[in-house]
Each structure stands twice: as C-alpha cells, then as structure tokens.
Amino acid sequence: MNKSFSNMAYFPSLLSTLFFLLVSPSSSQPTEFFFPGFEHLNDPDNLTLTGVSQIEQNGILRLTNATPRFVGKAFYSSPFRFKNSTNGPAFSFSTSFVLAMVPVFGRFGGHGLAFTITTSVDRRAPPNQYLGILNATEMGNFSNHLVAVEFDTVQDFEFRDMDDNHVGIDINTLHSNASVPAAYYTRGGSTKQNLTLKSGKLIQAWIDYDSVENFMNVTIAATSTKPTSPILSFHVDLSPFLQEFMYVGFSASTGNVLASSHYILGWSFKINGQAPALDISSLPSLPGQPKKHTKLIVGVSVSLSVVVIALSVAIYFVIKIKNAEVVEDWELEIGPHRYSYRELKQATDSFNDKTLLGRGGFGRVYKGTLGNPSTQVAVKRVSHESKQGLREFVSEISSIGRLRHRNLVQLLGWCRRRGDLLLVYDFMANGSLDKFLFDEPKTILNWDQRFRIIKGVASGILYLHEGYEQIAIHRDVKASNVLLDDELNARLGDFGLARLYEHGSNPGTSRIVGTMGYIAPELPKTGKATTSTDVYAFGAFLLEVACGRRPIDPDTLAEEAVLVDWVWEKFSQGRVLDVVDTRLNGLFDEGETMMVLKLGLICSNDVPAARPSMRQIVRYLDGEADLPEKLRPPAVFDGGAEGFEAFVHSFSSLSLSSSSSSSSPSSSPSPSDKMSSYPFLTNGDASTN
C-alpha cells in the first residue's frame, strides 16, 4: 500500500482519476479520500475553509498564520455516514495526516490544532485554548456530539493540561478524556522517542477507531513509517457521541501572544478500513524550506562575502548597543512577550490623551493598536510617583503572566525602559464593572447579566486559589478591578498586589494593602493575606453587585453607611430584598438574589474560619449545594476553629429568611461601631501601609 500510493505522486492523470473515484458520492455517501497535498482543492465541493485558513500556492493547507487571536478551520465538504441509524453502533474509521506547527517566538508558540469530528463545519468558538472547536458554555455538553484529537502546545490549567506538548482525546469537552506527552515508539515498541509538536518539523499522525474492540488509538512519528504501538490508546464506545452523519476536518487557533502557523501537508481518511498511506517525501515543502532535489550554487567571491558580512555585523551591533533597552537578570525569568518601547509608543499615538482609558493610583491606561491585522490592546503605564512601583510591577508580570483562565484578564506582554514600566493587556471593550453599578451609570445591567458576572469572577478566583500550580492571592477583589468584554463577560484584573505561595505552605506577613471596605478585619492583626481574605473581599463584591452600592458610603444615611450591616439589618427584619438595586425595577430572580445576598453575608463574617472556600462558593452559585437556612450576624462567630462546614451546623437558633419575623439581633454592631473597627483605614479607595 505504501509503495503504490507514493508512486502515484508521479502520475497526475492517474492520481486525479483515483481521487475522483475515492470521493465521488455516486449513489451513496463518500467513504474515503486521499489528499497528497491540497493543490486545486479550493473548490468548496472538496474542502470548506473558514476563518483564516487557506491553501498556499504550493498545495499546503495553512490553518492559521502567525497572527494572534485567530481561528482557522478546514473540513471535508460532504458529511460521512458514521452509523446506519441514529441509535446504531458507530463504524470503524481511520485517518492519517502530516502536520507542522511553526512558532513565532522560537520555542514559544500556540495554541495548537485538533482533528475534529463534528455535526457542523461552522461551529462558533473562540481562539486561544479552545482551539476553535468549543466555547466556555458548551464544555461537557452531551449535545455537542464532538470527538477530537488535540495536538496542544500550551499548558492550560483551566483544562488541567499535563504540559505544553501533549496529544489528547477530547469527547464533548477540552478536558481531555485521555492524554500523553507527544512521543512515539521505536525499535519494535521498546523505546520511546520524544517529539516536540511546535518544533516546526513535519510530524505524521494516525488515528484509528475500532468499533468491535471499542478502542481509539493515536500514533505519531517523525517519518512516514507508522510505529507498531500507538502512543495513546483509549477504550471508548463512540456510538453515543457520534450521529449518523458527521463532518471531519481540522481546527487550529492562536493565542493573545503565543502564536504559531499551523499546517496540514497531506490527509487521508476511510470509513471501515485503513486510510491510504501518505509518503512525506512526496508532499509539498513547508514555506522557507529549500525545494527538494535543488542545489545551492555559490557565485560570490569568498573574500568579498567575509568583508560584507563583517561590516554588516559591526554596523548592526553599533546600532543595537546605541538603542538598547537594559535587560536585567530578573527580567529573563518573567515570562510573557516583551514589547519594545517604540512599539507601544506608536500603538498609543505617543500616549496621547485621546487614547486615555482611565487613571488611578498606579498611573494611566491607554488604548492601543498592535500588529497587522490590528489588535486592540490596553497599555497600563505605571507612573514614576506611583506607590505601585517596580516591586508591584514585577509581581503583576510574574503572576498574571503565567495564569490562563477565561475569567482573568490576559496579560499579553510588557515593557521596561529606564523608569517607564508598561503592561499590555487584552482590550476590554466595556471597561470596568463599577461604571455599570455606581454614580448614575448610563447602562443598567439586568439581573441575568449581574449573576453571570458574579459566577465568572467566582470561577476566576477559584482558579487562582486551587487551579494554578501555586496559590495566588489577588488581594484587591472589587468591582473596579473586574473588566467586561464586548459581550459583558467578566474578567478579574489588576494583579499588582497579588502574592503567590506554595500549596500547603503558610503565607508570610506583608504590608497591609487593599481598598477600604474590602479588607478582612484580621489582616491588620496578622499581616497575612490568605484565600480567606480574598473570600471576604468577594463577599463585599457580591453585595455591591446586588445592591448597586459601594461597601462603605459615607455620603448616605448613617444606618446605611456600611453595606454589610445594612443588608444584615434588612435580612434580620425579613426585608432583605429591599436592598436590591432599585434600578432593576423589581425584575430579578428572587431565588438567585436571596442566595447572592446570603452568601455575601456569610463571606463577610469577621472570623476567617466562618467563611466558605471559593470551591464551596462556586458550588452554591452553580446550584450544586444549598446555603444554610440559619445565619448568624457577620460580626459574630462561635463555632471555634473548626471551619465553615462545622460553623454552619453548629448552631440551632436564629433561623432567618426573606419572610422571617422583624427583629434585629442585639449582637449585630451598629454602623458606627462597625466603622470604628476599621481604625487602620483612611478615607477613599487608598492602599494602606
């Protein structure tokens, strides 16, 4: 088989005839095809290309180029019959293809590509870690009817990826059902040879599904010879996941900064049989590689070449040294892409006030345009006089630069030039959440939008606390640090105060920072920022989103100045829904609103052990657990040090709900008492030292 198909590359007329016979539908659905290159296949009857995918002049299928934040897809235009009936067993199938991933920044590339079996060729999905095949709301849905094999080149902690160089089998989700580091077996299956997916070199892949044994095997190699043992074997019956008719193809995506050109050089597929073999040597060459069988002819004098090269090198280094931006040792360990100062100056029109998005204690944020095609970004310029100086700048780069979650603002890169410190982020079209909650907002968020924002922020904080390789404490959770994209999806940002420490270790003491109304009362005593202090701030966030009020508002009535006390007073009177933002005009889900308000009170307890963890909070918000019916005042806790679970079961009095009797507990401090318990805070949203 190998020999017959490799020889066909030299007989175009015979090959085109065979191609027609293989894919011509005749009286039934196609059962196989063979593409030793993709020249002349731009006809939509053969391949359906979407996104930035295209067929190059030399016959290579390019799914993406090196441009960030793009998706490219290519599917065989006709669906294949994978079952005889809706409820019947799935057929066996086999496919083989040759791929290449060429990263932009040396070893830094992404995000990867996936062979995909799906019900639709135009499934809408974002780039980045989603590879263009699913979106966040579809993850794990049985109705997806999606089977994919991913070739992933970025470690995404949201999907619990093992590393940034693995092969995985994904069924209805991007949390791989099975995955392994990219490698192949040699010498009869006794030796494993590692492969780097984003090396820019050609890699051949074979995917085989056996419907009798219910096994899906994935094999890869650096040559056309198929190893005898697969690198990944997964026992699964695909019958429940495949529909009668499905499309087969590829999807690839690039990230915000991490980008690769993703190529497919050849592809074959067959239902109920072995896909025709591909011969790498007969496939088109990658761009930039010398054509096969060509010779390099040197016709320039060696001595003249040496002189020209020497002068060029000398001139280059003179210019380089003159315009060099100093790079210190610690900067080499930071992570994300480093932009030049010239790039960012040009992107922001020399930091023109017309591009100014906002200002704060840290400095200014400008809107910029980078790349070709252009991508909108936000450039944060830390001021020289800012309290958020070099230490916080480095903290923000080193922490958020390695964090990846759909509900965290993505850091794209950074720049340091003399005293100028700059960070580059995704541009969030709708700005910060506080502009939609306070001070007569132009747009009023409805309850569904608010609840989705709350769940998004909770998911992001849970990732910080438990989903990353270290524990990340944000230390400044509040509405003004939650940014909204063009679809009003929430992303937590501003990691300048963030701190990292190892799981299981005890966080050290540090200076007290944060914003009045969000700082946990134990923090000034212990000096230790913990996951529980983030939970306290999240409690204040819950209440401000539901009530449309800041946690502390000295301009309002004295009894309403401290939001948590006012909410508790109304709760104890059975009138808690009176605190809901009046701009909602009573249009909200009472069950969800009650849960948010009660959860805000629980998170705002003065004693850390009385607060739930973020995992418990997410379970409440997702409806996987019920909040306790009985609550104690936020300033009272008598459950000892056993923790939240013991706390909510440790008392038997004061059962309150929205319909409870009107009585205010004597143990609840008045707003003035509550204010006096914050002697360490100054007026306004200022960090404390």
Q: Distance of alpha carbon 37 from its chain centroid, rounded? A: 33
Q: d(Cα 353, Cα 357) in Å, to the nearest integer?
A: 9
**Helices 590-603, 563-572: crossing angle, 10 deg rounding:** 120
User: Residue 185 — φ and ψ, nearest 5°?
Assistant: -95, 140
- Establish whether 380 is an annotated binding residue: yes
Contacts of 344 (CB under 8 A, 6+ apart): 368, 379, 415, 422, 424
Q: d(Cα 509, Cα 377) in Å, to the nearest integer?
A: 35
- Here the tokens at position 256 are 């915000």
- Asked whether the beta carbons of 154 and 164 are under 8 A apart, the reply is yes
Largest pairwise CA distance in the chain? 99
- Asked whether the beta carbons of 445 and 488 are under 8 A apart, the reply is yes
Options 170, 476, 581, 685, the catalytic residue: 476
Nearest to 204 by CA among 227, 223, 230: 223
Is the Cα torsion angle 57, 58, 59, 62 positive or negative in sign? negative
Helix (H, G, I), strand (E, B) or coil at 427: coil
Q: Is 476 a catalytic residue?
A: yes
- Asked whether the beta carbons of 482 and 545 are under 8 A apart, the reply is no
Q: d(Cα 591, Cα 330) in Å, to the nearest integer?
A: 50
Give the end-to-end CA distance of the chain in Å, rounded to a whole number: 75
Residue type at 32 in one-letter notation: E
Q: d(Cα 440, Cα 418) in Å, to the nearest integer?
A: 41
Helices vs strands, H then E, count in the chain: 13, 28
Is the Cα torsion angle 243, 245, 248, 252 positive or negative in sign? negative
- Here the tokens at position 155 are 């470690």
C-beta atoms surrounding 305 within 10 Å: 11
Contacts of 59 (CB under 8 A, 6+ apart): 37, 38, 39, 284
Q: d(Cα 233, Cα 238) in Å, to the nearest integer?
A: 14
Q: d(Cα 176, Cα 161) in Å, to the nearest integer?
A: 8
Is 455 buried (19+), middle (13-18) or exposed (0-12) by CB count in 10 A?
middle
Does residue 373 have a cis peptide bond before it, meaning omega lies within 30 degrees of 0? yes
Point out the annotated binding site.
Answer: 380
Point out the annotated binding site for ATP.
Answer: 380
- Residues designated as active site: 476
